[in-house]
Amino acid sequence: MAFLLPREKSVKGFAVLLFIAVLLLNLVTLPIVSEANDDETNRLIGEKVMGMAATGALLLNGELGDAHEKIVADGHRDSEEYKEFQEVLKQILDASKATYVYTLIKVDDDMTNLIAEAADEEDADPFGNEYEMEPQFETAFAGEPDHAVHTWDDEDYGTQKSAFAPIYNSKQEIVAILGIDYPIEELQKKDTNELVGEKVMGMASVGALLLNGKLGDTHEKIVANGNRDGSEYKEFQDALKEIHEAVKPTYVYTLIKVSDEMTHIIAESADEDDADEYGTEYEMEPQFETAFAGDSDYAIHTWDDEDYGTQKSAFAPVFNSKNEMVAILGIDFPAPELEEAAEEEVEEEKAEDAAVSSEQPEEENKGGSSTMPLIIGAVLIASIVAVMVTRKNKKQS
Residue 251's pLDDT is: 98
Whether residue 376 lies inside any domain: the answer is no
Rounded Cα distance between 134 and 111, Å, is 9
Asked if residue 132 has pLDDT above 60, the reply is yes
- 199 and 89 in one domain? no
Residue 23's pLDDT is: 52
- 281 and 218 in one domain? yes
Whether residue 380 lies inside any domain: the answer is no
Rounded Cα distance between 358 and 352, Å, is 10
Whether residue 37 lies inside any domain: the answer is no
Whether residue 200 lies inside any domain: the answer is yes
Q: 291: pLDDT confidence band, cut at 50, 70 and 90? A: very high
Q: Mark which of 139, 160, 189 sits at the end of a domain.
A: 189
- 156 and 220 in one domain? no
Domain span including residue 257: 194-334
Closest C-alpha among 165, 177, 254 to residue 208: 254
Mention every residue, 6+ apart, whose C-beta is less than 8 A from residue 376.
none
- 157 and 126 in one domain? yes
Closest C-alpha among 335, 298, 295 to residue 319: 295
Q: Specify the CATH number for the domain of residue 173.
A: 3.30.450.20
- 281 and 259 in one domain? yes
- 172 and 113 in one domain? yes
- 264 and 147 in one domain? no
The tens digit of pLDDT for each residue in 14-58 reads 555 555 554 555 554 444 434 445 788 899 999 999 999 999 999
Q: 394: pLDDT confidence band, cut at 50, 70 and 90? A: very low
Rounded Cα distance between 145 and 95, Å, is 19
- 77 and 185 in one domain? yes
- 307 and 181 in one domain? no
Note the pTM of the prediction, 2 decimals.
Answer: 0.77
**In a 3-state reduction of DSSP, which class is residue 240?**
helix
